[in-house]
Amino acid sequence: IAGITQAPTSQILAAGRRMTLRCTQDMRHNAMYWYRQDLGLGLRLIHYSNTAGTTGKGEVPDGYSVSRANTDDFPLTLASAVPSQTSVYFCASKNGQSSGELFFGEGSRLTVL
């Protein structure tokens, strides 16, 4: 089934630990995004990639890093997790920077204690 797969679905993590959230899409979309969603706030862009080999910073990039070695994969790494990074993380993709519809993964719920 075509779409975006995120892993893990849920994770509890001790503060200070390193964590990588995985995201893979099989739609051959050029553009990929990482958002966090917190209660009462809109989706906030962490990092994005318009095409393989390039990445950019979004609204809330501090404490996070990404890589885009190929079209399909866009992992998000928390180098040293802090409690304020407790959130639901969504990976998304679309076919071209200027196109409309975003396709989302099912989300990764991360709790940092």
Q: Interface with another protein by CB under 8 A: which residues? A: 40-45, 48, 58, 90, 97-98, 100-107
Nearest approach, Cβ of residue 14 and another protein (Å): 25
- Closer of 14 and 42 to another protein (Cβ): 42
Distances (CA, A) of 60 to 32, 35, 70: 16, 9, 24
- Closer of 7 and 43 to another protein (Cβ): 43
- Closer of 44 and 73 to another protein (Cβ): 44
CA–CA gap between residue 10 and residue 54 (Å, rounded): 28
CA nearest to 43, candidates 110, 112, 113, 104: 104
